[in-house]
Amino acid sequence: MLDSEKYAHTPSATDNVWGVGLKDLRGSSRTAWLDVGQSVTGLILGIFLFCHMAFTSSIQLGKDVFWNLIAFSGGYFVDGEEHLWLHVLFVGFIFLCVVIHMFCALRRFPTTWKQLRDIRAHSKMLHHPDTTLWMVQLVTAFLLFLLVFPHLMSMLTNPGMFDPNLIGVHTYHNGMLYTFIFLVVTELHGMIGLYRLAVKWDIFAKNPETGIIDQRQGDRAGLRKGMLIVAVLMIVCGTLTLLRNYAIGAEQVENNAEAQRYEIPAELNWWK
């Protein structure tokens, strides 16, 4: 690095706290774009998790309600036919968001054992809840790397599996433990991610009277508590859905009807 570059900017205390240092000067704009990419796709995926929960939990209202929602996303209302490519398009969009999100986040992963050790030591020394949450993000991100692609690929390559009975059988074969771990990892990562975005974008740090951002205004502890409550509620809701799907799958298997799709009674079809 040139001396003129190295000494061009003397970081203030705030710069140091927020991580802008000499080492970040070069290529800082690229890093900023990666951060924006990670944040935007994270926000899309975080909001998607709530829609996902509403969609999958509709099975609690009956197979017919779930069937009608699946049929809607398959464009059944247009001509009374399910269009598998519409499922592929939607799953493909979410898939793309996941890939961009992961690609942008890669730079945050420790790449050597020494870096990992330093991060752990730093986290232990600071002993701050936000740093601990960051560690949870790191671990859950790694696990999601393993868990999310089988889930998305099975839908991308087989969009015809969108059916209340077949989804139940799928959950049954995946097993309760696997699905529960996937659920906990997903909700923790998603909800902590949304919390971190709110903190990063100072959503709750604005003085409502002056409109000026002041870190001391934001009730971070309250926000953290709220986020954890929502995460637990999502896990409870997801667990109930998991149990329901598992029971449907078990029943289909017991009746030797693993491949049997759900036949919607005409009077329950919303799109007829």
Please give the residue ranges that form the binding site for ligand HEM (CB under 6 A): 52, 56, 90-91, 94, 98, 148, 151-152, 155, 167, 170-171, 179, 182-183, 186, 238, 241-242, 245
Is the four-CA dihedral 178, 179, 184, 189 of positive or negative sign? positive
| Residue 245: CB minimum distance to ligand HEM, A | 5
Q: Which residue of this chain has its Cβ atom nearest to ligand HEM in the complex?
A: 238
Q: Which residue has the tokens 């996937």?
A: 182
* Of 18 and 77, CB closest to ligand HEM: 77
CB 68 within 8 A of CB 270: yes
* Of 151 and 220, CB closest to ligand HEM: 151
| Residue 53: CB minimum distance to ligand HEM, A | 8
| Residue 252: CB minimum distance to ligand HEM, A | 13
* Of 22 and 102, CB closest to ligand HEM: 102
**How many whole angstroms separate alpha carbon 269 and alpha carbon 272?**
6
* Of 133 and 191, CB closest to ligand HEM: 191
**Could you give the maximum distance between any two Cα atoms of the chain, in Å?**
77
CB 11 within 8 A of CB 20: yes
Distance of CA 29 to the CA centre of its chain: 26
* Of 71 and 98, CB closest to ligand HEM: 98
| Residue 90: CB minimum distance to ligand HEM, A | 5
**How many whole angstroms separate alpha carbon 244 and alpha carbon 217?**
43
CB 101 within 8 A of CB 41: yes
CB 226 within 8 A of CB 233: no
* Helix, strand, coil tally for the chain in percent (to 5): 75, 0, 25
* Of 151 and 224, CB closest to ligand HEM: 151
Residue 220's identity, in one-letter code, is R
| Residue 94: CB minimum distance to ligand HEM, A | 4
CB 66 within 8 A of CB 250: no
| Residue 222: CB minimum distance to ligand HEM, A | 26
